[in-house]
Structure 1
């Protein structure tokens, strides 16, 4: 890929990261799955633990962390969104790779929340161990009984009782909860149902070993359980945590959610572009080696058409994502909300189309465990729902365009 005018340090990191992937990640894909599937599938994977120190020694650690969250440069290189974007793409080519570099969801989003909104005590207790890669975290927002694409629908309760808050509610798609190293979850619920619509919600830190916190079941994604990371359906019954665990203050949950989702969405999009690039590479390799009707697949016009469409669509999606990253860096997440919404629709749909074409070129092998394509397809399809469904984001894009052209949506 072209790195445009990104900084020399990003070019250097890109080269080192690519070399690390070539040496340690791609050759170990089969070994990763072997370790996951032997014994307890929800135990941590030794391969991950072995590779983390190597990545850190190479300076490939906490690459996502922006300068504002680490002004002293203690934990990472302090890259902008634009600088981080091409690195995130490289890591995204293999779904489990980002954890090697401590750049995996939902930990990155949770770390940014703690860095932006956490108290010094909260940061010492939870942020530092996360930045060191010593623990994992989860994010408890989505609920099974309401349309959680509208965060104001969330019904879980957070009630003050003296020096504690009492938490009750049901959550699902709590990503990361399956990992035995998961120690903390950021929980979103209502503190004041009578307040203005966007001031009812709050976020609070809930240690996973708190009495009343239960994992009811692990959910599958098109049949994949994503062990040992996983996505849990959880219950919170009369869970008591100290009042000091509140993030930012009562009624600030929606504000935190918007601050958290901006960077998280662009990270998802760049990882998706990495997935699409990987699928295109596999498609080209297969087309050059497989023979059908007396000639290589690459000699068939419809296969070349699939390759061409994929190349063009990936480059378009990347340009749109880089533009959003640049705007986030220069004018802020709020002003870039239209661009962020646009990439959230474009990136997963492009990835799905490219992966689908690669599956078609592979034939039966494409839907088997012999290639990563089936899992990639499942993940890309899921990301048309994660952080909000397509229609929510297209609505944002439309409203931004109407506002830009001076069109009012109010009735005359």
Structure 2
């Protein structure tokens, strides 16, 4: 049984990574794609932002859909859309159809972001859940590292930016089949009335200020992160004359360190370091370092990426573990995760266009000012979280039984 749980988790984890690759396949080929489709920086940013807009619209309905049709069916919809979307994108040269393909891909992220934590929570009890949840929290940085470093080799071998679209379509098709085979079918229609009422009570997460603060923190770190990483390869190439392959590697390095940050941050939390400390330290450190975002000399890129990546990892793991810890009962957890993801994707929608428009009109220095907003928001969120967190006050969870908060 334990082996089956980890097999299922592995499929969910790898499927999540392929969906993250789908989302972030645009930045490493942004320069080539803009040239091929004759796009300006605002239009290029929209290719990222429309994806995020889709997730923002669907992340809460996704939690509702999951409660009605189950995690397996919802997961198949997620991975299926993540296969169909890039297939449509690769077959068109029309900018508006490309945006439609990104909308379809965005459905995948919206659904997988609630499906994966739900399957993990269903498969592992409270005392076992930290390890798989901490590993799964690395799905985005791993996906980004892979797609950024595969981009140039794939484009060189297969010719052009569309190679990444073909790659993502193929990978998601494979994991659709594996998900279908390996994930057990759940039957939400057969749950008892009392269970249905518990699911409805999860809406109380929207009244939990600590959970809302974690969503705000996720917004802040994603705003800084994506606002910078979307345009960093272009900055490295245009201003610092760095080749496309190395520019993509340098940009992905922060995400590699972010993965380390989620693991180390999780260990620190397990050892008693409070989330409010991690949020405040990360917010302040990022605010100081991010002031140099688009004025970096080539020599300082790797140290810069190390600091912002590590701090982002601390923030992300604080938000994911806090979503469960601050929930008064298990029914709140999917909605708490949805709130955090809403904040994240709201930032992803806004930041690329905001930074791109500012850089195009005022120059790279002005883009740094926009990026700094995200770090300031994390600091604010940390203060609010410290004030309202029941975990920080050592309060016991509201519910009894096997559920363990904080």
Name the TM tier (shorter chain).
Answer: 0.3 to 0.5
More strand by share: 1
Structure exhibiting the larger radius of gyration computed from Cα positions: 1
Normalised by the length of structure 2, the TM-score is 0.34
Larger RCO: 1 or 2 (CA < 8 Å, sep 6+): 2
More helix by share: 2
